[in-house]
């Protein structure tokens, strides 16, 4: 029986400008991704996404490569991040990706798993959660979508700069996930594994709750010196550095 690997990645934050990260992602799609059963992108694939109209053009090479991957028979799943939550049906149609709800329960390699971008678990960051609720609300979204392209770009870059300043001033514990939110997610979804990104703090956290072993895997963000994905197959999880695979 052929091994059926599932690959997961998040927080690539691919920019609109030419970048080695964009090249690496294209190498990933043409290389290791082709041998997988499924590829899950758990959000913030793009650093900014102001709408499918602009995004599909700004990221034409990635869109074509994602399409080639799904045409080759690899299942492609995409979850929104806080930077690219405006990805919509146009992206799904162009790439062949299925858009997932956040959180999403899935059985990966036989393990009941909860997948999430991760920002929903950062409940101690009240200011951020307020912004999250506002930005995902249909009314402001419809208003934003009706703005001309240059205005949408300007608003996005203002929001990004502001959030960078806000986050820099907050203590680490506030911007990380809340353990209470994680426990509630384990209980609610009845899973023994959570995989998420967003915090840029790659780690494996193991919990022992009433004799039950649970684990929380935090995916790594991509940097010039580190581009990795998580490979889930044959009963083990492995972080694989793209440059060495």
Place of tokens 């009433």: 210
Q: Which is nearer to Mn ion, 55 or 81 (CB)?
A: 81
Q: Is the peptide bond before 103 cis (omega within 30 degrees of 0)?
A: yes
Token digits of residue 43: 């959000």
Pairing outcome for strands 111-116 and 104-108: antiparallel
Please check whether residue 92 is in contact with residue 55, taking contact to mean a CB–CB distance below 8 angstroms.
Answer: no
State the pairing for strand pair 193-196/212-218.
parallel
Q: Residues 48, 81, 91, 194: which binds Mn ion (CB under 5 A)?
A: 81
Nearer to Mn ion, 80 or 152 (CB): 80
For residues 61 and 167, what is the distance between their CA atoms, to the nearest angstrom? 31
- Shortest Å distance, C-beta 220 to Mn ion: 13
Is 228 near Mn ion (CB under 5 A)? no
Please state the closest distance from residue 234 (CB atom) to Mn ion, in A. 29
Sorted by sequence, the CB contacts under 8 Å of residue 32 that are 6+ apart come out as 7, 229, 240, 242, 245
* Contact letters for Mn ion, residues 32-71 (x by CB under 5 A): ------------x---------------------------
Determine if 198 is a binding residue for Mn ion (CB under 5 A). Answer: yes
Residue number with CB closer to Mn ion (22 or 196): 196
176 lines the binding site for Mn ion (CB under 5 A) = no
Residue 80 as a binder of Mn ion (CB under 5 A): the answer is no
Tokens of 212: 């039950």
Q: Of the two residues 67 and 132, which places its CB atom closer to Mn ion in the complex?
A: 132
Residue 202 CB, nearest approach to Mn ion (Å) = 13
Name which of 33, 13, 31 is nearest 21 in CA terms.
13
* C-beta of 141 vs 201, nearer to Mn ion: 201
Q: In this complex, which beta carbon is closest to Mn ion, that of residue 109 or of residue 119?
A: 119
Instruction: Confirm or reject binding of residue 82 to Mn ion (CB under 5 A).
Output: yes
Span near Mn ion by CB under 5 A; candidates 29-37, 78-86, 155-163, 208-216 = 78-86
Cα of 78 vs its chain's centroid, Å = 7
Other CB atoms within 10 Å distance of the CB of residue 222: 25
> Applying CB under 5 A, which residues contact Mn ion?
44, 81-82, 198
């Amino acid at each position: 029986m052929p091994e059926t690997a599932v690959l997961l990645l998040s927080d690539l934050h691919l920019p609109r400008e030419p970048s080695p990260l964009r090249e690496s992602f294209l190498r990933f799609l043409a290389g290791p991704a082709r041998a997988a059963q499924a590829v899950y992108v758990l959000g913030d694939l793009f650093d900014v996404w102001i709408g499918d109209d602009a995004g599909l053009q700004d990221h034409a090479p990635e869109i074509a490569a994602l399409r080639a991957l799904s045409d080759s028979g690899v299942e492609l799943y995409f979850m929104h991040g806080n930077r690219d939550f405006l990805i919509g049906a146009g992206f799904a149609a162009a790439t062949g990706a299925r858009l997932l709800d956040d959180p999403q329960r899935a059985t990966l390699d036989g393990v009941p798993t909860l997948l999430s971008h991760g920002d929903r678990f950062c409940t101690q960051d009240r200011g951020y959660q307020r912004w999250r609720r506002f930005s995902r609300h249909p009314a402001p979204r419809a208003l934003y979508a009706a703005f001309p392209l240059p205005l949408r770009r300007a608003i996005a870059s203002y929001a990004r700069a502001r959030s960078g300043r806000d986050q820099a001033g907050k203590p680490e514990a506030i911007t990380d996930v809340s353990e209470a939110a994680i426990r509630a997610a384990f209980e609610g979804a009845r899973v023994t594994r959570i995989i998420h990104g967003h915090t840029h703090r790659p780690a494996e956290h193991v919990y022992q709750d009433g004799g039950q072993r649970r684990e929380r895997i935090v995916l790594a963000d991509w940097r010039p010196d580190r581009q990795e994905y998580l490979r889930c197959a044959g009963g083990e999880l492995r972080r694989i550095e793209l440059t060495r695979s």
